[in-house]
C-alpha cells in the first residue's frame, strides 16, 4: 500500500505515506465550497508534475552527469475549467539558479528531456495542456 487518505470533515483530507508516516492535508478551494487553507486535490495534481520533473532531473544530474541541481525552482499555475469541473492546463515556470545557467547545451537538453519524460508527465491526460517555460534553458 502506498498511502492512506482519511476524510476529516469540512471538505478536508489527511493523506499519509504508509512507509514513512509523513503526511499532508488537503482542503477544497474557496471557489468550490472550501476554505482554501491547504493544497486542494487539483493543486496536488499540478504540483506533483513539478515535483516529479525535478526528482528525475535530480537523479539524472547526480547519478550520470556528476552535478547537483539544488536550487532549481518551479512556479506552478493550475488552470481549471467547468462543465465538467477539471484541470484544463498546467503552466510551469522554471527558475534556474546562477550556478546552473551556464550548463552546456547538451546537459540542458538531457535534463529537459528527462523532465519531459517523467512518470507524472506521461500520466497526464492529453486534454490537459501543459506549458513549460524553461527559464532560458531551451
Q: Please report the domains of the chain, with CATH numbers, ordered by start residue.
A: 3-32 (no CATH), 41-133 (3.30.300.20)
Cell numbers for 115:
523532465
Grade residue 136 by pLDDT with cuts at 50, 70 and 90. Answer: confident
At residue 56, the pLDDT reads 98
Mean predicted confidence (pLDDT) in 90-96: 98
Helix (H) or strand (E) holding 16: strand 12-17
15-54 burial: b if 16+ Cβ within 10 Å, else e: beeeeeeeeeebbbbeeeebeeebbbebbebbbbbbebbb
At residue 137, the pLDDT reads 85
Cell numbers for 120:
507524472
Mean predicted confidence (pLDDT) in 68-79: 98
Helix (H) or strand (E) holding 74: strand 73-81
Contact by Cβ (8 Å): 107, 100? no
- Name the residue among 7, 44, 1, 3 with its Cα closest to residue 21: 3
Amino acid at each position: 500500500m502506498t498511502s492512506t487518505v482519511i476524510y476529516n470533515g469540512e471538505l478536508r483530507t489527511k493523506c499519509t505515506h504508509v512507509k514513512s508516516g509523513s503526511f499532508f492535508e488537503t482542503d477544497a478551494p474557496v471557489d468550490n465550497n472550501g476554505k482554501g487553507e491547504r493544497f486542494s486535490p487539483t493543486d496536488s495534481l499540478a504540483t506533483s508534475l513539478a515535483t516529479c520533473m525535478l526528482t528525475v532531473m535530480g537523479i539524472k544530474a547526480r547519478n550520470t552527469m556528476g552535478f547537483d541541481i539544488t536550487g532549481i525552482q518551479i512556479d506552478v499555475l493550475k488552470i481549471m475549467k467547468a462543465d465538467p469541473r477539471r484541470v484544463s492546463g498546467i503552466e510551469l515556470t522554471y527558475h534556474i539558479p546562477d550556478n546552473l545557467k551556464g550548463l552546456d547545451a547538451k546537459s540542458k537538453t538531457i535534463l529537459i528531456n528527462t523532465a519531459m519524460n517523467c512518470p507524472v508527465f506521461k500520466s497526464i491526460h492529453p486534454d490537459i495542456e501543459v506549458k513549460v517555460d524553461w527559464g532560458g534553458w531551451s
